[in-house]
Chains A and B, each alone.
Chain A
Amino acid sequence: MIDMSFNLIAFFMLIMNFSTDQHRAIQLPESELVKPPDGPPVFDIVLTLNQNASVNMSQFDDSVSNIELLAPFLKREISNAAAQDIPIDKIDVVIRAHKETQTGLVQDLIAKCQEVQLQKFKLRAKERIE
């Protein structure tokens, strides 16, 4: 019984969810079509857009209160990618927006990324299980 208990503890520890509070605060839209990606991305910038237009960059827990202030962070990420010999057209911008966010804010976020020449976007959604 002790062995079984230890096994169970090991199981729960392994599958423990280490997502940040920011991730939990976002309610993603749901879709039947989205599937988890097959492999790791070449280089991605994950932007979490809240309802109040503040943006979190997940990798470094950076946060800006307004989309307009995002450019320096994006440029830093592009420089990081360049340091790894990854061209800008291989960078994926993953947008995790709250489902009640105004679509206009998502468009503003895309436009801000386009200003620094980013062009590949991924709109993240949660898998809907029927």
Chain B
Amino acid sequence: MRIRGTNKSGNDIKLDMTSMIDIVFQLLAYFVMTFKVTSMEGDFSVNMPMATNSAQQIMEALDKTIVVRLTRTADGNVGPIDVDFGSDHKSFTDEFRFQRLRDYVKSLVLQSNDPATASSYEVEFDIDRDLAYDFTIRAVEAVSGEPLGGGRIVTLIEKIRFKDNRPR
């Protein structure tokens, strides 16, 4: 019986591994150099049916609708954030305006102890068409929830829609 790695005369056969090792290292170097750490992606849900509801449904919805207005300044930044809820009006102008918006929404949602009432709030965004989408997402983020650290999130408002402000 022949033993692997030996020839008929019993001498060792030496395999030349050099080229294979070279290729393996080249492949390894390629993958290491092209390796890119990418962050995960996630979504904010927006429900926007086209059909208009009955007048009664609209009036009921208006009771719980927080209107948030975002404007664009001449230099392309976001201007003051105006918030209307019923007769209450707020305007957040300082650099922490998105946090102020979150705090205001949080105070409204958390003051109602009934979870059903809290979940009935709705936010309607009225946003300048020219405003960069990044600011829109920051506003959506501010009303949607608050990160608590360690991956935990307090959910605030889930019903979000945009006001149709297309040019007529």
Contacts and interface: CB of A to CB of B under 8 A. Distances in A.
A114 interface: yes
Interface string B36-65: 101111111111111000000000000000
B128 A103 contact: yes
A9 interface: yes
A128 B129 CA distance: 25
What is the size category of the interface that chain B forms with chain A? 35 or more
Nearest to B38: A17
B138 interface: yes
* Interface secondary structure of A, over-half rule: mixed
B43 A119 contact: no
A123 B143 CA distance: 14
Interface in B114-131: 127-131
Contacts of B137: 29, 31, 99, 123, 125
Contacts of B113: none
Interface of A: 2, 5-6, 8-9, 12-13, 15-17, 19, 28-37, 94, 97-108, 110-111, 114-115, 117, 119-129
Interface of B: 17, 20-21, 24-25, 27-28, 31-32, 34-36, 38-50, 127-138, 140-141, 144-145, 147, 153, 162, 164-166
